């Protein structure tokens, strides 16, 4: 009997020392692995990364709640890079075919709130080492686009796409403080509820009938 391999999505959130990936640094990585079909949490990863506070913007330091005490257990970037890649590699069950070699390989879809921003930091972070998950367009899911689809299908309007506003709309408890792992968990729960509404809306309104 054929058994279907479980597929996963890695919900990733980063804290950074600013908004410029060519200058600023990753300060914290949070990730929730969820089953692709049920949105059920499977595993988590969190690590704080050493960075130069002198290069950080005052706004970013305030947002992340930086203090030397909170970052006392932070690790060097090389350690964070290696440990995060090893964590993701355990869930690479998404089979794709390489355009370059025409051979199959296993990778992992990633997702998040404004995930292209996180990718803009992950790409230089892994410039000289292998990142096992899919950062290319079509390999990631942006929560903001899910919300846009929800607006179109159900003809509703969101005043803001900020995570706090989305949590309030979906009645997801909002954890203040911009902790990367807490944010990734909230993003996953908002996505689960949004997809549920999208599914219900399509079923109830016969959205695609006549298209």
Q: Is the pTM of this model over 0.85?
A: yes
Could you read off the pLDDT of 100-113 as tens digits, one per residue? 999 999 999 999 99
**Residue 1 pLDDT > 50:** no
Distance, CA of 133 to CA of 85 (rounded, Å): 8
Q: What pLDDT is attached to residue 86?
A: 98
**What's the rounded Cα separation, in Å, for the pair 118 and 155?**
29
- Which letter does DSSP use for residue 115 in this model? H
Report pLDDT digits (tens) over 143-197.
Answer: 999 999 999 988 889 999 999 999 999 999 999 878 999 999 999 999 999 999 9
Q: What is the pLDDT of residues 15-25, one digit of tens each?
A: 999 999 999 99
Which H or E run includes 63? helix 58-64
pLDDT higher than 80, residue 3: no
At 32 the three-state DSSP class reads strand
CA gap 42, 9 in Å, rounded:
10
- Measured in degrees and rounded to the nearest 5, phi and psi for residue 30 equal -125, 140
8-143: CATH number:
3.30.420.10
Answer yes or no: is pLDDT of 205 > 50.
Answer: no
CB atoms within 10 A of CB 207: 14
The residues spanned by each domain of the chain are: 8-143
pLDDT of residue 138: 85
* 83 vs 208 pLDDT, higher one: 83
| CA distance from start to end of the chain | 38
d(CA 70, CA 49): 11
């Amino acid at each position: 009997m054929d058994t279907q391999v479980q597929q996963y999505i890695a919900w990733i959130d980063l804290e950074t020392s600013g908004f410029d990936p060519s200058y600023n640094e990753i300060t914290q990585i949070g990730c929730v692995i969820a089953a692709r079909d049920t949105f059920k949490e499977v595993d988590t990863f969190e690590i704080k990364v050493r960075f130069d506070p002198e290069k950080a913007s005052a706004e970013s330091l305030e947002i992340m709640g930086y203090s030397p005490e909170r970052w006392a257990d932070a690790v060097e970037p090389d350690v964070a890079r290696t440990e995060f890649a090893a964590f993701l590699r355990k869930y690479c069950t998404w089979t794709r075919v390489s355009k370059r070699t025409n051979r199959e390989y296993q990778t992992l879809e990633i997702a998040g709130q404004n995930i292209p921003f996180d990718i803009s930091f992950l790409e230089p972070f892994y410039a000289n080492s292998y990142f096992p998950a899919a950062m290319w367009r079509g390999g990631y899911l942006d929560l903001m686009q899910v919300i846009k689809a929800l607006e179109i299908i159900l003809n509703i309007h969101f005043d803001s796409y900020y995570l706090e506003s989305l949590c309030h709309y979906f009645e997801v408890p909002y954890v203040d403080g911009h902790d990367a792992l807490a944010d990734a968990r909230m993003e996953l729960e908002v996505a689960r509820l949004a997809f549920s509404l999208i599914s219900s809306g399509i079923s109830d309104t016969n959205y695609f009938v006549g298209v």
